[in-house]
Chains A and B, each alone.
Chain A
């Protein structure tokens, strides 16, 4: 350990740590543009210069390692002057078009200008003319005039994806970042470029001109579109009092987690979020019912249906079709209620088919929690549907939110012969009409719980969005149902929240005790 002093604050940090990291660990922010935790420091923007006692020149915080006894000043006049000088230069050749820039509100150049003095420009010369709108990827536009040459994008494509689509051409003030001969950034991680760009040089067409960043509410969640469990922020817009907006979610951003996804998410996870808003099922539907039905009514009704068969010792005629979009806690409750209490063994999974993985983050599994289901004792082997549907009188189906990837073929025919069919769904779909009862369910982003990723890491998450209309998380329904069934009332009566269920699961199953 080394004892250092930053702005007279004494800190104990590991030997070899950089000044910038040491400062951040103490909550002190040192401005930087080119530095990014994912990359080796490049030291080119010169924003992070600090004063070190005994050294004649200002030194870089991003690359200078601390030494025991080092006294560092981050706010002295010479430091501030140096940073102002850098900003002044960057702004001199920058279009300063913040009112129409998507990065406004989360732009480092803008933030630092506010912090370092809001000075007037003394640049009376002509700015360099550069290309304003280069399509560099399917979803990416590059504005060379806004670029500060931090090379984060170039380094990302060189060091992370190793695809090298961007380079720096020319030199001096004419240096510019671009693609080669029209070859676009074409990899499953391209969206990270717009995110790591510290200014508005690389913008995301998906977000461009859609919303101002300061209206967005950013909430933590887990990406459910494959079984990696990448950590994300779901960013939603509440709309205005004058009018509402056509959707809630405007952007998915990466959330750093070195154990799971590092600094990145894939383009699938980033861009395929339309399902959060489009075609959502948000009301309980019951065939032949007059007027609306409430959750307590429908729960009682379903409990009655199950109870009837259970007491007639006909539980073998109840079928359960699941998919691995459910959380660990939900599988825990399903196991308890349907297998343990009611004693159903007709349980099969109808997950979307596996697809190619990309050898980085995206896995072949297109649901988030296969591993959790397995750890809770569910058999994910494909079912013999013919055999499954023999003698089914009461069928429960949990539909995947991404129904396009679901093969409903085996269901359609069989459904006609079954007395009572109940669907738990998140979206409108033509198959919904084949069911007697359709229940609107919350998505992963709208509920709390935990997921187990492909390598067995268990991650908790909380709701990032409010559930629309009558949607409910499955776990909540399961608890209410179990209480109504009253086969094991005392056990379920302990649960009044998600956390209660989780604690019980951890108590009973040691696998879930370690949470990432």
Chain B
């Protein structure tokens, strides 16, 4: 049996076209679901598969769907999170570019399961070519009767639209995404209420990452047991690991959940580029706390990384070599969060900017004793205290970089200052 779920057919020419996709078991899952399955059965299967969200937070998809009220007059919506803004992450771009029908198929099954008739794919604005490809694929799916009214002769109907963002990392946060979809600034909403009860246009809404939804067809076809066997019992399936930075073969690698990080970097991504020596690795996108070279012998699943005080996040691996200054890394990280804070809540709006100003000053050679402690304190003011998870996302990497590379960072502060 194939050991890949999402990228198995990536080698096929024109996989993005519906004909090629269908020749390779494409839309079999939709046919099976619409002819044989009841929504409750699908929900039970997805729950049993322990499919955890691939966007970053790792919330079980089945549980999320279960929160949506069943008998309700209002419309319900599915929003596919294709914002992919987490630095280091590019996996969803691959799925949408090479295998857009897999995502569409997942959308159809999810919608059928939850009782949804309108789905939006919220894609980051820069991915224009990807958005066009998705729209092309959606149009093909309509033509073949997989979307629109009376899908495959049943009374189920579904419309899917692509909605492009316009340059705002925060819109990857689910409630900011909803605001953005409603034509507003991407300011995250206060929770509760959660989107499952009050989401898009005030209606119950499911929000899932592209990779999460793309796993649905195979779960339906092959069953939860199979899916769990692909990964771990409590964290089923595969992950598309995106490796970038100083490795020989940067790219995506679909591997079982729990694959060893060192193995991914050394065996799959070819090890360090140009014979450089590894210094540190960010294991789950920029918001994940950094790991030192000694810490990378670790399994890439949610629980293992939490245990190592980091996180799996979007499974985006950034490999940093010894020649790179950690001050520069800190600079990129703090500049990013300062730039991407929506500005709504105080600790994030001012904290991130303040931290970045301090780092810049250290970079300019004007660091002072106490600067690093001040940064830690400001990061701590954000940790768990902001309106949305961006505060945590910003605080965690900053704190970990200072904790693990303090000596080096202090060396950039002139003696006597």
Binding site for B on A (CB under 8 A): 41-47, 49, 56-58, 60, 63, 81-82, 85-86, 88-90, 92-93, 122-126, 128, 148-149, 168, 170-175
Which residues of B are found within 8 Å of A42, using beta-carbon distances? Answer: 190
A432 CB to nearest chain B CB (Å)? 58
Q: Please determine whether B346 and A173 come into contact, CB atoms closer than 8 angstroms.
A: no
| B342-357 interface with A by 8 A CB criterion | 342-347, 349-354, 357
A62 to chain B: closest residue by CB: B190
- B339 in contact (CB, < 8 A): yes
| Contact pick for B341, options A57, A124, A171, CB 8 Å | A171
Task: Please indicate which of the listed interface residues A49, A125, A168, A170 has the most CB atoms of chain B within 10 Å of its own CB.
Answer: A125
Residues A45 and B350 in contact in the complex (CB < 8 Å), given A124-B368, A126-B357, A172-B338? no
Q: In the complex, A58 Cα to B368 Cα: how many Å? A: 32
A54 CB to nearest chain B CB (Å)? 15
Q: Please determine whether B385 and A82 come into contact, CB atoms closer than 8 angstroms.
A: yes
Q: In the complex, A63 Cα to B193 Cα: how many Å? A: 11
B388 CB to nearest chain A CB (Å)? 10
Which residues of A are found within 8 Å of B339, using beta-carbon distances? Answer: 172
Binding site for A on B (CB under 8 A): 168, 185, 190, 338-347, 349-354, 357-358, 361, 368, 374, 377-378, 380-381, 384-387
The 6 closest A-B pairs by CB, nearest first: A175-B343, A85-B381, A173-B353, A89-B350, A125-B357, A172-B341
Q: Please determine whether A46 and B347 come into contact, CB atoms closer than 8 angstroms.
A: yes
| Contact pick for A175, options B347, B349, B378, CB 8 Å | B349
B339 to chain A: closest residue by CB: A172
A56 to chain B: closest residue by CB: B384
A125 to chain B: closest residue by CB: B357
Residues A86 and B358 in contact in the complex (CB < 8 Å), given A172-B338, A172-B341, A173-B341? no
Q: In the complex, A148 Cα to B345 Cα: how many Å? A: 10
Q: Please determine whether B357 and A63 come into contact, CB atoms closer than 8 angstroms.
A: no
Q: In the complex, A305 Cα to B411 Cα: how many Å? A: 100
Q: Please determine whether B343 and A92 come into contact, CB atoms closer than 8 angstroms.
A: no
Q: List 23 A-B contacts (CB under 8 A).
A: A41-B190, A44-B344, A44-B345, A46-B386, A58-B384, A58-B385, A60-B190, A81-B381, A82-B381, A85-B351, A89-B347, A89-B349, A93-B350, A93-B353, A124-B358, A125-B357, A125-B358, A128-B353, A149-B343, A168-B343, A175-B343, A175-B344, A175-B349
Task: Please indicate which of the listed interface residues A46, A49, A173, A174 has the most CB atoms of chain B within 10 Å of its own CB.
Answer: A173
B373 to chain A: closest residue by CB: A122
B186 CB to nearest chain A CB (Å)? 8
Residues A46 and B385 in contact in the complex (CB < 8 Å), given A89-B347, A125-B354? yes
Q: In the complex, A149 Cα to B353 Cα: how many Å? A: 15
Q: Please determine whether B361 and A44 come into contact, CB atoms closer than 8 angstroms.
A: no
Which residues of B are found within 8 Å of A49, using beta-carbon distances? Answer: 385
Which residues of A are found within 8 Å of B357, using beta-carbon distances? Answer: 125-126
Q: Please determine whether B349 and A92 come into contact, CB atoms closer than 8 angstroms.
A: no
Q: Please determine whether A85 and B352 come into contact, CB atoms closer than 8 angstroms.
A: no
Which residues of A are found within 8 Å of B361, using beta-carbon distances? Answer: 124-125
Q: Please determine whether B344 and A149 come into contact, CB atoms closer than 8 angstroms.
A: yes
Which residues of A are found within 8 Å of B346, using beta-carbon distances? Answer: 44-47, 86, 89-90, 148-149
Given A46-B347, A124-B361, A173-B341, 7 other A-B residues pairs in contact with their CB atoms under 8 A: A46-B386, A85-B347, A89-B350, A122-B374, A128-B353, A149-B344, A171-B185
| Contact pick for B385, options A57, A123, A148, CB 8 Å | A57
A107 CB to nearest chain B CB (Å)? 16
| Contact pick for B343, options A81, A82, A86, A174, CB 8 Å | A174
Q: Please determine whether A172 and B342 come into contact, CB atoms closer than 8 angstroms.
A: yes
Task: Please indicate which of the listed interface residues B340, B342, B350, B378 has the most CB atoms of chain A within 10 Å of its own CB.
Answer: B350
Q: In the complex, A128 Cα to B341 Cα: how many Å? A: 15
Q: In the complex, A44 Cα to B350 Cα: how many Å? A: 12
Q: In the complex, A173 Cα to B351 Cα: how many Å? A: 9
Which residues of B are found within 8 Å of A58, using beta-carbon distances? Answer: 384-385
Which residues of B are found within 8 Å of A88, using beta-carbon distances? Answer: 381
Q: In the complex, A148 Cα to B346 Cα: how many Å? A: 8
Q: Please determine whether A173 and B347 come into contact, CB atoms closer than 8 angstroms.
A: no
A31 CB to nearest chain B CB (Å)? 12
Which residues of A are found within 8 Å of B377, using beta-carbon distances? Answer: 85
Q: Please determine whether B354 and A86 come into contact, CB atoms closer than 8 angstroms.
A: no
Residues A173 and B384 in contact in the complex (CB < 8 Å), given A92-B354, A122-B374? no
A506 CB to nearest chain B CB (Å)? 47
Q: In the complex, A92 Cα to B343 Cα: how many Å? A: 15
B351 to chain A: closest residue by CB: A89
Task: Please indicate which of the listed interface residues A47, A85, A93, A123 has the most CB atoms of chain B within 10 Å of its own CB.
Answer: A85
